[in-house]
Homo-oligomer: A and B are copies of this chain.
């Protein structure tokens, strides 16, 4: 059972909720817009689903509704910004703006952030860079540790995701958005709700045995892609997005699902790369169209209907959800109705 809500109403509701917890109008709009973008992109685990948790964190003092961003250090092509414990969406949108501006001049820019928070899906920020005709790369320290170092059992690493967005010509842009684990933790949670079992290879328990019951996920941990390789990626991504920015990494990472009060000091970085520093933009886009065509026309394995490029279905999903609305599962809808009461704002309709 689910209610279908228009993206416009979703936006208004999220905006009202943030304004009611102390956000300025414009900050509430930027955040609501990014969260709706997550929902209409089919990344439901990172959209309005997170709102009750964000609001709780704001109410219990774990997140600052009126952050003042500061540039702690900068050179012509880099910056380190302090997010003043604001929501990650605002911090990383601001970081992306700085990166785009610097990359226009220098060709490339790398902007790191500390004292930030959960920012939703990684591709929100690379797509923003992409809209400026640049290539975007984003990496974050995940907001809860679900993985040990390879061979270990202590949860010291998160799913530390990466997104890369690359513009193309007549085809949709290539948008990679992936965790460095075989499955993101959200997928485990979704299976728990739907009553399904996990495939082997997603998780193991502390004795090294395969773990397939999502209800027992607390007894084990996520496995990295490619074994030690994915561990290596999660480690170096965590250092680049966390340690280098003086943000939390390793045992300092606060589980933001379990704790609404402790400052998370989340770290991320965004890189903007100006295509025109390497190649004429139109020529590059037509080259990417050739890559598209080559990949799509490959012969296929038996039973495979279609070869896809990362992000291929995004435009279609967005169009569909913009036209038909976003499905809100009943348990979430009930939660959001309670939230509306609590904040004295109009209910979601």
Contacts and interface: CB of A to CB of B under 8 A. Distances in A.
Given A236-B176, A279-B244, A295-B235, A152 B108 contact: no
A148 interface: yes
Contacts of A314: none
A78 B108 contact: yes
A342 interface: no
B232 A225 contact: no
A243 interface: yes
Contact of A166 (B207, B236, B273, B291): B236
Nearest to A75: B107
Given A77-B107, A149-B307, A301-B151, A156 B294 contact: yes
A97 B105 CA distance: 21
A200 interface: no
A174 interface: yes
Contact of A112 (B233, B278, B301): B278
Interface in A257-315: 271, 273-275, 277-279, 284, 287-288, 290-291, 294-295, 297-304, 306-310
Given A77-B107, A108-B108, A244-B279, A239 B151 contact: no
A313 to B, nearest CB: 12
A54 interface: no
A109 interface: yes
Nearest to A207: B302
Contacts of A284: 243-244
Interface stretch (A42-50, A190-198, A246-254, A317-325): A246-254
A108 to B, nearest CB: 4
30 contacts: A74-B107, A76-B105, A76-B106, A76-B107, A78-B274, A80-B277, A80-B279, A106-B106, A150-B307, A150-B308, A151-B307, A152-B299, A152-B300, A153-B299, A154-B298, A156-B295, A164-B236, A174-B235, A176-B236, A206-B301, A207-B301, A225-B226, A225-B230, A232-B310, A235-B291, A235-B309, A243-B288, A244-B279, A245-B278, A246-B278
